[in-house]
A and B are shown apart, each in its own frame.
Chain A
């Protein structure tokens, strides 16, 4: 059902690559303010669904309503302006720029003034970037080039860049991949805190089930391009089908 309190509502979303069906007619609702995890084995279509929502894939069939408006055919930049922010499975921070420059750039773009020559805007964005550095715990890395940083730090930076755009819906694709357990919990606690404080909605793809159980209010399990189950973390953990997928031979 499409309630008015759903920030996102997808119907019959389908994406194919040649004869391979990456997403097979997915229906998916996301209530506003919810922290929602997407889990499932590799190749289940989790990242594809995230990319569809963010508008980054051509040829997506079906309907995606965001804040009540059809967005399935919009370009990523337009979706970003409407309030969808994301991070990528493989870090896509600007490698040859410093951490501070990455965040400054994110602030400038989210202000919608990318073509400005204003020095005061640059100074303002740099100040905001400095504050965001502290938020994501990278203050001591301000002048470090991203290419010289660990994967974990890059993920934190990317989260900061997504936050800089102040999105209503935050899409995090494997935000903790490549991190130590300690780093994972540190980042995801931070994510949950920021999401709740600012009233955002969170959709994240995650493989670490401990993190999922701790952070997510609801969980959707995907298998081979379809949704297998959606529910509270405890329900999902107890679901026999889900257990079969994760423990039994998933084919």
Chain B
């Protein structure tokens, strides 16, 4: 449930085991596995940033990829246009995304529910179109390539470890925000803006802050993705990434802190391994999504909780 995040000893143990399992797979699985893992971890960060917005702020965005793309291009353009060293340009990815979040957010939070979602979609499409068509500046649909060694020249395995660390730091920061007065305010407005307003909150301002925070973390994911590919393409801001992240959050389960991560693990692993067994992996994904939404409306994260309670690791709350 969307309660403030508490880490019990059992949860710490599960988290530790997951980290060890990922790193182990990374080290023994070969370069192919490491590439899949790096992508999975980056998407886990991206989906988690969307989840922050959806599970805590109750704001459904259809345009979150705008900030993934702005992160990638903010970083890339600082290298190619401003001539900054790659390491220094890194900070401009998340900053560009946060700035984009501020501008688009100020517009979008004026509306709620489906109208909010539609505005975010429009903002993302604008971003995509600018990246796609502004050839002189962004390279248009040919993207920007060859400005750096992919992964800073790190080995596949080492880069996957780096993304694991970045994901861990970002998740810790997100958890810190959720478990703070600000996090309470974001949840309050998400659950009942009238009540929050009557208590003295300006809902739009709170939503804007949540939006910028989510955009910032999406920007980190986008920057990392550009580093992993050594390139930036308009698709990064396209509808595909938004939909993937939405699916991950739903698979993982709304109202859980971990839904972005869990959803990303399931989604990316399926995407990479299912095609080995079937030509119709999207069909398989569709069926899995259908089953999860109908049978597990609270997503896979709820199963973990139920299991832990059945095993007596956690008390019922």
How far does the alpha carbon of A98 sit from the alpha carbon of B1 in the complex, in Å? Answer: 10
The answer, yes or no, to whether A14 is at the interface (CB within 8 Å) is no
Selected from B176, B182, B197, the residue in CB contact (under 8 A) with A115 is: B182
Selected from B3, B188, B197, B198, the residue in CB contact (under 8 A) with A105 is: B188
How far does the alpha carbon of A125 sit from the alpha carbon of B206 in the complex, in Å? Answer: 19
Instruction: Pick the most buried of B198, B200, B201: most chain A CB atoms within 10 A of its CB.
Output: B198
Q: Which residues of the other chain, B, contact A108 by a CB distance below 8 angstroms?
A: 181, 184-185
* Chain A 173-210 per-residue mask, 1 if CB under 8 angstroms from chain B, else 0: 00000000000000000000000000000000000000
Knowing A92-B194, A97-B191, the reply to whether A165 touches B199 (Cβ < 8 A) is yes
Q: Are A96 and B255 in contact (CB under 8 A)?
A: yes
Q: Are A109 and B3 in contact (CB under 8 A)?
A: no
- Which residues between 128 and 146 of chain A lie within 8 Å of chain B, taking CB atoms? 143, 145
Question: Shortest CB–CB separation between residue B181 and chain A, in angstroms?
Answer: 4
Q: Are A109 and B180 in contact (CB under 8 A)?
A: no
- Which residues between 178 and 198 of chain B lie within 8 Å of chain A, taking CB atoms? 179-182, 184-185, 187-188, 191-192, 194-198
Q: Are A114 and B201 in contact (CB under 8 A)?
A: yes
**Nearest residue, chain A, Cβ from B200:** A80
The answer, yes or no, to whether B202 is at the interface (CB within 8 Å) is yes
Kindly state the interface size class of chain B when it binds its partner: 20 to 34
**Nearest residue, chain B, Cβ from A93:** B195
Q: Are A115 and B179 in contact (CB under 8 A)?
A: no
Knowing A101-B4, A105-B187, the reply to whether A116 touches B180 (Cβ < 8 A) is yes
The answer, yes or no, to whether A45 is at the interface (CB within 8 Å) is no
Q: Total interface residues on A, using CB and 8 Å? A: 41
Question: Shortest CB–CB separation between residue B55 and chain A, in angstroms?
Answer: 10
Question: Shortest CB–CB separation between residue A223 and chain B, in angstroms?
Answer: 27
User: Which of A18-26, A27-35, A81-89, A233-241 lies at the interface with chain B?
Assistant: A81-89
How far does the alpha carbon of A143 sit from the alpha carbon of B58 in the complex, in Å? Answer: 22
* Chain A 87-112 per-residue mask, 1 if CB under 8 angstroms from chain B, else 0: 01000111111100100111011101
Knowing A94-B188, A105-B188, the reply to whether A56 touches B182 (Cβ < 8 A) is no
Q: Which residues of the other chain, B, contact A125 by a CB distance below 8 angstroms?
A: 181
Question: Shortest CB–CB separation between residue A98 and chain B, in angstroms?
Answer: 6
Knowing A114-B206, A125-B181, the reply to whether A109 touches B199 (Cβ < 8 A) is yes
Q: Which residues of the other chain, B, contact A145 by a CB distance below 8 angstroms?
A: 1, 3
The answer, yes or no, to whether B22 is at the interface (CB within 8 Å) is no
- Which residues between 1 and 36 of chain B lie within 8 Å of chain A, taking CB atoms? 1-4
Q: Which residues of the other chain, B, contact A114 by a CB distance below 8 angstroms?
A: 181-182, 184-185, 201, 206
Q: Are B187 and A110 in contact (CB under 8 A)?
A: no
The answer, yes or no, to whether B317 is at the interface (CB within 8 Å) is yes
Q: Are A109 and B185 in contact (CB under 8 A)?
A: yes
Q: Are A109 and B195 in contact (CB under 8 A)?
A: no
Name 24 A/B residue pairs within 8 A (Cβ), A-sorted.
Answer: A75-B197, A76-B197, A76-B198, A77-B202, A77-B203, A80-B199, A81-B200, A94-B187, A95-B191, A96-B191, A97-B3, A97-B187, A105-B184, A109-B185, A115-B182, A115-B209, A117-B181, A117-B182, A122-B179, A122-B184, A125-B181, A145-B3, A161-B199, A162-B198
Chain A interface (Cβ < 8 Å from any Cβ of B): 54, 56, 75-77, 80-81, 85-86, 88, 92-98, 101, 104-106, 108-110, 112-119, 121-122, 125, 143, 145, 161-162, 164-165
Question: Shortest 4 CB-CB distances between A and B: which pairs?
Answer: A80-B200, A114-B185, A92-B195, A94-B191
Other 18 A-B pairs with CB < 8 A, given A92-B192, A122-B180: A56-B197, A77-B197, A77-B203, A88-B195, A92-B195, A93-B195, A94-B192, A96-B191, A96-B255, A113-B181, A114-B181, A114-B206, A118-B180, A119-B179, A125-B181, A145-B1, A165-B199, A165-B200
